[in-house]
Chain A
Amino acid sequence: MAIDWFPLWLSLRVALISTALALAGGLWLAYVLANRDFRGKDIVDAAVTLPLVLPPTVLGYYLLVLLGRASPFGKLWESVFGSPLVFTWKAAVAASLLHALPLLVKSARAALESVDRSYERAARNLGASEWSLFWRVTLPLARRSILAAAALAFARSLGDFGVTLMVAGNIPGRTQTVAVAIYDAVESGNGAVARMLVLVVSAVALLILTLANRLSPSRI
């Protein structure tokens, strides 16, 4: 039985990149939501959470409209990189990001807010800028929870199916992630391959969630 491991490697790569992107964007968003008061904050908060509840088809549709070849972003992408974004593995990153971001923002915000305010007061009182307060006090103190959140986001990115299928398609050896490959294998009656991939994905996810639990400070 020859199993093509490409979908697994692709999925890991996609999940890693989307987690990194989610970490960068999500931390900033979480910081803003945790520290700033502005009009429409509730709406931003809800919009960030939206991907958790919307059907994958709806999300996929939005992404196609947003990133498709006819959209302004799609055109810009194509003129800069010379090829379209949709139906490449990079579109799969965008799809995963949609799932990783809400998880990360939610947990990171909670983590940042759970840091005892007296540390932040102390830092300000000692003359620290908001920047250095964040990087040297708040973030290190929330570090474990945020890493746990990142692990969770990684696991979630690994498992995306619907949105990826809609925006990246199912091109074997190019955009076929492990979730799509399993679907493909089952559909074509390739039970042995499906079983193997299912087991490996489950094992990887279990490993990551165990790690996330270890990291989360609530267990200590």
Chain B
Amino acid sequence: MLQARLRKTFLPKPDSAGFSLDLEFSATAGVTVLFGPSGAGKTLVLDSIAGFVEPSEGRILLDDDILFDGAARVNLAPQRRHCGYVFQNYALFPNMTLRENLEFAAERRPRLERHRRVNEMLEKFRLAAAAGRRPHEVSGGQRQRCSIARALIGAPKLLLLDEPATGLDAPLRTEFYGVLRQVQEEFNTPMLLVTHDLDECFELGEEMLVLRDGKIVQVGTPREILDQPANLEVARLLGAFNLLEGEIRSLDPGRNISRVLVGEFEIEGPYFPGHLKGDHVTLCVRPEQLAVAPRNGRPGPNQIPADLTRAIETPHGMRLEFSNGIAVALAHSEHERLRDNREWVIQFPTGLLRIV
């Protein structure tokens, strides 16, 4: 269990804007994902926990150990923190073979155990055949597995991963997620993983922290966060939403219904607690929550007519983009059925509409 309260300020300099990190979170067993755009301070959080960077203030607790306490002037050396770290570039020592890399990391284990432990890890991470080669002589997947094995061999209490899948091609990514799940099952080490990839959050994360400008803006499971982004910022960061300006026309808590004017059309949504009639709001709805239909005369309830500007093929189906900026995701079969259609209406769901 990791508990961290961190504050670190970088004053603005002539060549760089100031930045301040100020956040508090905890991470328990399983994978916790730190999600955010570049420059949000994600890596700074990992580096503070690993002890490469000293926060200005705060406290970092890992199980029963105090790694850092600003007030009590405790700042453990990185050597004594027992946090495994998987670097973005893996940082395998290029002057050593894969086996030597693991041996280097195993040195703090009892002497008699080292050899067995190294062999065990080489087996487990399918590196035995490449053990005698140097990092630049092996494949990307082997490098990656080796860096994870190296980080785990000292039995760390926490595994930190800095954008480990960035720059990997799709098959390697899939393989990597498999390796991480295996690690989770076999080692049960809590992991804190930094990423700016939303798919990765879903693939791995049980808990997700959304980071922006050095602050945590939302915490939850990836599903919860995608279902209800805490604010417009988060919705923009996730990048997976249609965001529509609207005005609340009526609210009916009894029937759990509201009516929102979007452009010149009224859409029915669920009751929005905390909002008043006449409020200007931003609605958010994901492309896959919308549907389309051929336009027949006057648009029906919860329908907005729109002109199709582009139809884009995606791995999951089709993505239709309309002139009013709304995107709709469709299954391939659905698109086939509608392919000769010229005039469209977008069909809004009632229960799934959210205000951010």
Contacts and interface: CB of A to CB of B under 8 A. Distances in A.
B93 A124 contact: no
Interface in B59-82: 77-81
B79 A127 contact: yes
Interface in A119-157: 119, 121-129, 136-137, 140-141
B95 A121 contact: no
B87 interface: yes
A92 B151 CA distance: 51
A122 B107 contact: no
Given A121-B52, A128-B104, A137 B78 contact: no
Contact of B154 (A116, A127, A129): A127
B88 to A, nearest CB: 8
A140 B101 CA distance: 14
30 contacts: A118-B87, A118-B88, A118-B89, A119-B91, A119-B94, A121-B50, A121-B78, A121-B87, A122-B87, A122-B92, A123-B93, A124-B51, A124-B52, A124-B77, A124-B78, A124-B79, A125-B79, A125-B81, A125-B83, A125-B84, A126-B108, A126-B151, A126-B154, A127-B107, A127-B154, A128-B107, A136-B104, A137-B95, A140-B95, A141-B94
A127 B76 CA distance: 12
Contacts of A121: 50, 52, 78, 85, 87, 91
A110 B354 CA distance: 56
B52 A126 contact: no
A112 B89 CA distance: 20
B107 A137 contact: no
A108 B52 CA distance: 24
B105 interface: yes
B154 A141 contact: no
Interface residues of B, number: 26
A127 B151 CA distance: 11
Nearest to B50: A125
Nearest to B94: A141
Nearest to B87: A118
Interface residues of A, number: 16
B114 interface: no
Interface string B280-301: 0000000000000000000000
B150 interface: yes
Given A123-B104, A141-B95, A128 B89 contact: no
Nearest to A139: B95
Name the residue among A124, A125, A127, A136 with the largest chain B CB count within 10 angstroms: A125
A126 B77 contact: no
Nearest to B81: A125
B93 to A, nearest CB: 6
A126 B87 contact: no
Contacts of A123: 93, 104
Contacts of B77: 124
Nearest to A119: B91
Interface in B93-109: 93-95, 104-105, 107-108
B105 A126 contact: yes
A126 B150 contact: yes
A116 to B, nearest CB: 7
Contacts of B151: 125-126
Contacts of A118: 87-89, 91
Contact of B91 (A116, A136, A140): A116
Which A-B residue pairs are the 3 nearest by beta carbons? A122-B91, A118-B91, A124-B78
A129 B77 CA distance: 10
Contacts of B85: 121-122, 125
A31 to B, nearest CB: 18
Given A125-B50, A126-B105, A127-B107, A119 B78 contact: no
B89 A125 contact: no
Nearest to A118: B91
Contact of A129 (B52, B79, B83): B79
Contacts of A122: 85, 87, 91-93
Contacts of B93: 119, 122-123, 137, 141
